[in-house]
Amino acid sequence: MTTTSERLDGPSPLPPTPKVDLPENRSFRLKNRFLGRTLHTDQLQHERLSNTVGLAVFSSDALSSTAYASEEIMLTLLTAGLGINAFGYVLPITLAMVIVLAILIVSYRQTIKAYPSAGGAYIVTKDNLGVIPAQVAGVALLTDYILTVSVSVSAGVAALYSVFHGVYPYRVELAIAFIAIIAWGNLRGVKESGKLFAIPTYAFLVAMFALIIVGLIKNFLGGGLEYVALDPEQTEALKVTGGAGLFLLLHAFASGGAAVTGVEAISNGVPAFKPPEWKNARNTLMVMGGLLGAMFIGISYLATQVHAVPTEERTVMSQVAQAIYGNGAIGHAMFIFTQAATMLILVLAANTAFADFPRLASFQAEDSFMPRQLTKRGHRLVFSNGIVSLAISAAVIVAIMSAEVSRLIPLYAVGVFTSFTLSQAGMARRHIRIKEQGWRAGLFINALGAVVTFVVTIVIGVTKFTHGAWAIIILVPILVWVVVRLNHQYETERAELHEDAERAVEAPILRRHSVMVLIDNIDRTSARAIQYARTLMPDELRAVHVAIDELHASELAREWSELPLASLPLEIRECPDRRLDRAVLQLVAEIAGDGQTEVSVLIPRRVYRSAWHKLLHDRSADTIASALADVPHANVTFVPYHLTRSAKGAHVQQVEHGAVSGTAGIHN
């Protein structure tokens, strides 16, 4: 059966078409309200940070870790039963870690200069050591970014309940709420969130240096510092005196490693600085390193002077602040200020990870080692999918670990030191390869950095293995395997799709084109679909009704026979199992089965004004469409019919049937 169609008119020169002004949809308006006005792609370069703001955005992680790093060192020593002797080891261990920090800072200055466009471990490793080592660095870092968020937010909540003890039972809910707020800030765009985070970072710096200076003055110029008031059990525990073995000291050192985890951030975020990016980033890195080292040493020193003993409900930091400021009105105000600033910077330190995780994930996704969606810039030009993934992962970990910092710390730092090692090794390799001016000095610095960080990685992995690091040591290789498989998947697919594509684009059409209109009722939706079907000028045109309800089907057949559509009989297809999609699929598979027939299945679709209307009708059209995806050469077309009362976009008469309708139609 061949069907031809006549038109109202031959093709005619058309009048210029006006620009149609379509209303914005609701989700877009909601995004505008919730996230701010949408940004256009060409506004991308304006989203840059000054050094002052950059310090706040990229350093809050590193700086804030001084709030818990000393505590973790002390906790490791005290729980080992060293008693009062524990205090003697804290400062030396802190100094050892500050030396590692110094080496890292100097190493990363090299990296920032060498990779001004994006100098994270991932890029450096990929460039110098190859794609697979880069995935190790990338996955290790991503894991650590997630843990950064979990640890920081949990520690922030700990600072809060050190003051308000009643908050303790709600720490998980609070931590998750903070994660949500930070994610929201980041979805609005990095610059605005930079501003949002500058104040707490600087407040924290003021609070820490005030505490350290007041502490030092009281200690050396005043009458010395008083010990923290302990409960009897703790006092008893302190009386024990023991010596520390090497393993314990290394373990305590490993616990302190949390302090330097944020160093990577600036080098990974170089492009976010104002030009000249690499110089600004380098300066910010130096400032950050100095501040971090000074604070870490200061807090560790003061904590040992006041004999702070970490408990579940009171942080070391809060004990130090209370011991130094005392119980006077001004002292109490300073205590509250210190705790508030600590809480804020800790909660917001998570922001560092929110600035870096999505960027790193997008690099990996661009190399096809992560889901493609992570390369997509959202409403406000940030990598929204990355931000959301990070927030969800961190929230899950916080929930699993009950927001307890000392349960999270052992998982932490293995990943980041792995990436440090790879990144420094990569830099060393680069110096050897490129031999730029002064490369020998550079090689020495980066090789030293690589060796030191490698040793620290091993120390952390070994000493913390039984405390939870094993999970990360198992997880990272698994994730690397997953991303490598993912990459293989993408590559296979790409190869298949592109094979011979240049010739495929001129492939001749198939022998036959069969168009099938699915008919439910004789109404204007069906009429529209028939009208469109004839536009396609197929070799074969069929009208098919799948009978779910026999009564309705026979009624429909009767009505159809009275229509002036002699050349288009209605086929009734039995469907005793009421599976519409299956019946259509079977029919289409029969028609397309010869491999020489192009089948177009036309599904009439009513377009409603609102979601409420949609609710009142079932979704069988979508079910059919997705079922037909199984058949090659089955092309599903939705032919819309706009109900007039859903007038939104429907400014055009749907079915044209003017004076000539008697002369046009289907002719055999």
What residues from 583 to 602 belong to the interface with a second copy (CB under 8 A)?
585-586, 589-598, 600
187 touches a second copy (CB under 8 A): no
Q: Which of 8, 131, 336, 478 binds a second copy (CB under 8 A)?
A: 8
Q: How far apart are CA 234 and CA 389, in angstroms?
A: 42
640 touches a second copy (CB under 8 A): yes
Among 34-42, 47-55, 165-173, 353-361, which window interacts with a second copy (CB under 8 A)? 34-42
Q: Which is nearer to a second copy, 79 or 596 (CB)?
A: 596
362 touches a second copy (CB under 8 A): no
Q: Which is nearer to a second copy, 19 or 239 (CB)?
A: 19
Q: Which of 22, 329, 330, 611 binds a second copy (CB under 8 A)?
A: 22
**Shortest Å, Cβ 196 to a second copy:** 24
Q: Which is nearer to a second copy, 19 or 558 (CB)?
A: 19
Q: Which residues contact 459 (CB under 8 A, 6 or more apart)?
A: 250, 253, 254
Looking only at the bridges linking them, the beta strands covering 597-607 and 570-574 are unpaired
13 touches a second copy (CB under 8 A): no
Checking 574-580 for CB contacts under 8 A at 24+ apart, the result is 574/547, 575/546, 575/547, 575/548, 578/548, 580/546, 580/548, 580/620, 580/623, 580/624
11 touches a second copy (CB under 8 A): yes
- Phi/psi region, residue 607 (left: phi>0; alpha: psi -120 to 50; beta: rest), is beta
Q: How far apart are CA 475 and CA 360, in angstroms?
A: 18
Q: Nearest Cα to 388, choosing from 28, 118, 119, 35?
A: 35
The Cα angle at residue 454 between residues 451 and 457, in degrees rounded to 5: 155
In the region spanning residues 514 to 553, those forming contacts with a second copy, defined by CB under 8 A, are 521-528, 530-532, 534-537, 539, 548, 550
In the region spanning residues 485 to 514, those forming contacts with a second copy, defined by CB under 8 A, are 486, 489-490, 492-493, 496-513
Q: How far apart are CA 217 and CA 222, in angstroms?
A: 6
Q: How far apart are CA 570 and CA 542, in angstroms?
A: 7
Q: Nearest Cα to 452, choosing from 143, 70, 99, 92?
A: 99
615 touches a second copy (CB under 8 A): yes
Residue whose token pair is 């792995």: 418
CB contact at 8 A, 224 and 369: no
Q: Which is nearer to a second copy, 437 or 644 (CB)?
A: 644
**Shortest Å, Cβ 63 to a second copy:** 35
Q: Which is nearer to a second copy, 323 or 624 (CB)?
A: 624
Q: Which of 373, 388, 465, 473 binds a second copy (CB under 8 A)?
A: 373
Q: How far apart are CA 220 and CA 225, in angstroms?
A: 9
**Shortest Å, Cβ 604 to a second copy:** 10
246 touches a second copy (CB under 8 A): no
In the region spanning residues 37 to 96, those forming contacts with a second copy, defined by CB under 8 A, are 38, 40-42
223 touches a second copy (CB under 8 A): no
In the region spanning residues 453 to 492, those forming contacts with a second copy, defined by CB under 8 A, are 486, 489-490, 492
117 touches a second copy (CB under 8 A): no
Q: How far apart are CA 75 and CA 393, in angstroms?
A: 27
